[in-house]
Amino acid sequence: MNDTLLEINDLHVSFHTVRGVIRAVRGINIDIRQGETVALVGESGCGKSVTAHAITGLLPTPPARIERGQIHFDGRDLLQIPAKEHRALRGVRISMIFQEPMTSLNPVFKIGEQIADVFRVHHKLDARAAWNKAVELLNLVKIPEAEKRAHEYAHQLSGGMRQRAMIAMAMASPEPGLIIADEPTTALDVTIQAQILHLLSQLQKKIGVSILLITHDMGVVAQLADRATVMYAGRAVEQGSVEQIFTAPRHPYTKGLLNSLPGNQKYRDARRLEAIPGTVPDLRTLGDGCPFLNRCPHPGDRCAQEFPDAFSDGGDHLAWCWYPEGGIAAGHGAAGRKAGDKQTGGGPTGTAATTAEEHTDDV
């Protein structure tokens, strides 16, 4: 049975500005199954929110232009359906939780009214019943004194409570399918962040919703996600289960993100700095090679020439790197295994494999 809820194929999004064409998303492929949490992780400006806005139909067009790709959801390509139908999915089948809920909560209506509205419009409840359901949900997301808080406005709530109200709103949907949580806990302190992530995970179990979790924080990925796509400069550079990515990261960028986790010594070695040195490249002037080249600790001859093919250990763990960590030094296009290739020869840790670190010593 195919239980895929969302499938993004070869998505390309550019911004056509007076200062040039910004290629914000360049060939992203992501699928999310029913009830699964998939993280999109990467530094600021790598294209996470642009990908999310392509799903929700919230890209500003112009200057944004979807150059290529498909986004299949509920069996339809969201990029082909009329804007009216796309809009109709928002808040019903696709809900969003943003870093700053003030931008999505209406400042002039009480919190309870905003949630009750969803019950009135989509569940056709009368005003009293809708209000009661709103209070019930505010209780469920553990807003203290929910009945009293329901009468308050967004600015009267703390950041954590506003985020809980947004989650309640997502839960009010009559047929929730996908929640896109874009940096949902970035503005919160660590304790509240943990509580909100726990709440999201409980919600997911309760109603079986899928979550696309957008974050720059590998700690958040570890806490909530089943699988992850690591993005860099508009590209996916590594993809796999959270276990695969945390136990055997293949891309040096992923390794850098893991190293930047406070207290994480696992992937640290003498040649690595705590933070990833350098800055992200200008998305207007990207060449054909690997976009991580200027920050990579062990680039090889091939890296400047062409964007890497996906390297795979054999399963669905992919890394777009010519010289993957623990992989094969000569560039897997020649000596290693491209994703989809037949599994032959020594694996990345086998006797035929030379590690990327050894490669670094060679150059």
Ligand X SMILES: Nc1ncnc2c1ncn2[C@@H]1O[C@H](COP(=O)(O)OP(=O)(O)OP(=O)(O)O)[C@@H](O)[C@H]1O
Among the listed residues 28, 321, 328, 339, the single contact to ligand SF4 using CB under 6 A: 321
User: Is there binding between residue 184 and ligand X (CB under 6 A)?
Assistant: no
DSSP secondary structure letter of residue 192: H
> Which parts of 193-232 interact with ligand X (CB under 6 A)?
216
User: Is there binding between residue 277 and ligand X (CB under 6 A)?
Assistant: no
User: Is there binding between residue 180 and ligand SF4 (CB under 6 A)?
Assistant: no
User: Is there binding between residue 292 and ligand SF4 (CB under 6 A)?
Assistant: yes
Contacted entry of ligand SF4, ligand X, Mg ion, none for residue 308, CB cut-off 5 to 8 Å set by kind? ligand SF4
Nearest to ligand X of 79, 92 (CB atom):
79
Contacted entry of ligand SF4, ligand X, Mg ion, none for residue 228, CB cut-off 5 to 8 Å set by kind? none
User: Is there binding between residue 15 and ligand X (CB under 6 A)?
Assistant: yes
Of 299, 297, 334, 340, nearest in space to 318 by CA: 340
Nearest to ligand SF4 of 168, 303 (CB atom):
303
On whether the CB atoms of residues 134 and 150 are closer than 8 A, the answer is: yes
User: Is there binding between residue 227 and ligand SF4 (CB under 6 A)?
Assistant: no
Spatial distance between the Cα atoms of 349 and 335, rounded to a whole number of angstroms: 14
On whether the CB atoms of residues 36 and 227 are closer than 8 A, the answer is: yes
Alpha carbon of residue 38 to chain centroid: 7
Contacted entry of ligand SF4, ligand X, Mg ion, none for residue 158, CB cut-off 5 to 8 Å set by kind? none
Contacts 24+ apart (CB under 8 A), 80-86: 83/57, 86/56, 86/57
Q: How far is the CB of 325 from ligand X (least distance, A)?
A: 23
User: What angle is formed at CA 94 by the lines to CA 90 and CA 100, rounded to 5 degrees?
Assistant: 80
Site map for ligand X, 52-81, x if CB under 6 A? --------x--x------------------
Cis amide bond preceding 63, omega within 30: yes
By DSSP bridging, strand 310-312 and strand 318-320 are antiparallel
User: Is there binding between residue 24 and ligand X (CB under 6 A)?
Assistant: yes
Q: How far is the CB of 306 from ligand SF4 (least distance, A)?
A: 9
Residue 34 φ/ψ, nearest 5 degrees: -60, 130
Residue 17 φ/ψ, nearest 5 degrees: -115, 170
Among the listed residues 69, 240, 308, 327, the single contact to ligand SF4 using CB under 6 A: 308
Helix, coil or strand: residue 89: helix
The β-bridge partners of 338 are 311
Footprint of ligand SF4 on this chain (CB under 6 A)? 252, 290, 292-293, 296, 298-300, 303, 308, 321-323
Footprint of ligand X on this chain (CB under 6 A)? 15, 17, 22, 24, 42, 44-50, 60, 63, 216, 283
